[in-house]
């Protein structure tokens, strides 16, 4: 980073800004004219030559302008993150998008991805919260039809899952309720994994209905294993608007990556405890995204589970804008998921005002 004085930095900044806007290699004349630097193109040229030597600029071919390298974006972004001036006004925009009432966690996640993509004009990915295993609060069996019951498990972070299991057909509502009470008392406060272990101990108390336990155990162990977050994607087609993806093959491989949700989730998932992660070009570690950048942020629920929101765009992304939008969105989601046991947007507020 040595050899980098104040003026060089300002020029680099100008080049990045211009390139982010136009996606066209930027020449010395452009800088000296459009960005008032009080310097002639020749001087700029010299500086640019230096910047290229330092690795901040690339030249597609001899007689083209320069484009910022990944290193340049990195510098730019680091600067941005340090100077912490991102909050800005985008909170409003984010907020206004969420007034439509959504209920299920999956819906919120999908909706968030749509909002994020339409605000940024890039591709957005939202992962539902994961993390520490939720603890069981209530287990309830509801009779569905003769010989089948619905199992609903409520945890401190919302409904885990519901499933239908077969039950002895002679069981009536009240018996199911009694069993539910018993199960709830025995397993309250356990994580799913703990519950699976504890289930065998309950056999004698169940009497003839022990088949229920088998099914419940199956269900629980699957629920505890299957901790894949839900993945919402929005604005996949936005990417095609950018000239860097005018190549069909590139576009196709990018889009098909977006379709394999598991892989996508593992790429986007943010590791560590930082507020933001910015991965530029090769830093993504994904060949399909070698000229993309991924910006992610986390949000968290009141029970400490963490989710990730991310924006994928060309390396010449409007980082500052994106970071500020992500920041707002993260706050919104945190708030949303922290009321009412991660089952957001319930009727409370609206009904109160009626």
Partner DNA sequence: TGTTAGCACTCTCCGCAGGTGAGTGCTAAC
Partner DNA sequence: GTTAGCACTCACCTGCGGAGAGTGCTAACA
Among 4, 54, 152, 182, binds a second copy (CB under 8 A): 152
Residue number, 41 or 184, with CB nearest to a second copy: 184
Minimum distance of DNA from residue 16's CB (angstroms): 14
221 touches a second copy (CB under 8 A): no
Query: What residues between 34 and 93 interact with a second copy by CB under 8 A?
Result: none
Closest CA to 328 of 95, 77, 124: 95
The dihedral region occupied by 23, where left means phi > 0, alpha psi between -120 and 50, and beta the remainder, is left
**Cα dihedral: 138, 134, 220, 151 (round 10):** 30
**Minimum CB–partner distance for residue 66 and DNA (Å):** 5
Residue 263 binds a second copy (CB under 8 A): no
234 lies in the binding site for a second copy (CB under 8 A): yes
Residues 88-117 that bind a second copy (CB under 8 A): 103-104, 106
Alpha carbon distances (Å) from 221 to 131, 161, 165, 230? 16, 12, 14, 19
User: Residue from 11, 14, 19, 30 that binds DNA (CB under 7 A)?
Assistant: 30
Residues 269-298 touching a second copy, rule: CB under 8 A, are: none
Contact 48, 104 (CB under 8 A): no
Task: Report what 28 binds from a second copy, DNA, none; CB cut-off 5-8 Å by kind.
Answer: DNA
Residue 346 near a second copy by CB under 8 A: yes
User: Which residue, 91 or 104, is less far from a second copy as judged by CB?
Assistant: 104
The smaller minimum CB distance to a second copy, of residues 131 and 217, is found at 217
Q: Is 46 in the site for DNA (CB under 7 A)?
A: yes
> Is residue 143 involved in binding a second copy (CB under 8 A)?
yes
By beta-carbon proximity to DNA, the closer residue of 33 and 350 is 33
Q: Does 62 bind DNA (CB under 7 A)?
A: yes
Number of residues that bind DNA (CB under 7 A): 25
Instruction: Write phi, then psi, for 37 (nearest 5 degrees).
Output: -115, -10
- Considering beta carbons, is residue 4 or 152 the nearer one to DNA? 4
Q: Does 20 bind DNA (CB under 7 A)?
A: no
In the set 12, 16, 20, 48, which binds DNA (CB under 7 A)?
Answer: 48
Q: Which of 12, 65, 86, 264 binds DNA (CB under 7 A)?
A: 65
Pick 48 or 268: Cβ nearer DNA? 48
Rounded to the nearest whole angstrom, what is the least distance from the CB of residue 260 to a second copy in the complex?
9
Residues in contact with 27: Cβ distance below 8 Å, sequence separation at least 6, in sequence order: 41, 64, 65, 66
Nearest approach, Cβ of residue 43 and DNA (Å): 4
> Does 63 engage in binding with DNA (CB under 7 A)?
yes
Contact residues for a second copy, defined by CB under 8 A: 103-104, 106, 137-138, 140, 142-145, 148, 150, 152, 154, 159, 161-166, 173, 177, 181, 184, 211, 214-215, 218-219, 234-237, 240-241, 246, 248, 251-252, 255-256, 258-259, 340-341, 343, 346-348, 350-351, 354
Q: Which residues bind to DNA, rule: CB under 7 A?
A: 25-30, 38-43, 45-46, 48-49, 52, 59-66
């Amino acid at each position: 980073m040595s050899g980098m004085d104040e003026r060089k930095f300002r020029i680099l900044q100008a080049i990045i800004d211009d390139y982010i806007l136009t996606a066209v290699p930027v020449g010395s004349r452009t800088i000296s004219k459009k960005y008032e630097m009080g310097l002639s193109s020749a001087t700029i040229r010299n500086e640019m030559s230096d910047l290229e030597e330092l690795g901040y600029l690339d030249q597609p071919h001899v007689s083209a302008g320069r484009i910022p390298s990944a290193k340049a974006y990195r510098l730019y972004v680091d600067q941005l993150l340090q100077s912490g001036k991102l909050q800005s006004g985008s909170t409003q925009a984010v907020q206004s998008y969420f007034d439509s009432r959504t209920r299920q966690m999956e819906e919120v996640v999908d909706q968030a991805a749509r909002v994020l993509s339409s605000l940024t004009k890039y591709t957005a990915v939202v992962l539902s919260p994961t993390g520490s295993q939720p603890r069981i609060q209530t287990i309830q069996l509801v009779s569905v039809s003769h010989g089948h019951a619905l199992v609903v498990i409520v945890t401190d972070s919302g409904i885990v899952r519901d499933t239908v299991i077969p039950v002895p057909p002679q069981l009536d509502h009240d018996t199911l309720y009694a069993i539910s009470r018993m199960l709830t008392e025995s397993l309250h406060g356990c994580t799913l994994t703990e519950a699976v272990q504890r289930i065998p101990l309950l056999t004698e108390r169940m009497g003839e209905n022990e088949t229920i336990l088998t099914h419940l155990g199956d269900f629980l162990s699957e629920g505890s294993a299957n901790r894949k977050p839900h993945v919402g994607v929005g604005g996949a087609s936005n990417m095609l608007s950018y000239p860097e993806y005018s190549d069909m093959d590139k576009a196709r491989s990018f889009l098909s990556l977006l379709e394999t949700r598991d892989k996508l989730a593992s790429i986007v998932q943010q590791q560590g405890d930082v507020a933001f992660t910015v991965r530029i070009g090769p830093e993504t570690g994904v060949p399909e995204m070698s000229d993309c950048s991924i910006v992610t942020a986390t949000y968290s629920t009141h029970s400490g589970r963490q989710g990730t929101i991310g924006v994928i765009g060309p390396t010449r992304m409007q980082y500052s804008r994106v970071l500020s939008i992500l920041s707002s969105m993260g706050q919104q989601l945190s708030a949303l998921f922290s009321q009412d046991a991660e089952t957001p947007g319930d009727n409370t507020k609206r009904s109160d005002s009626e």
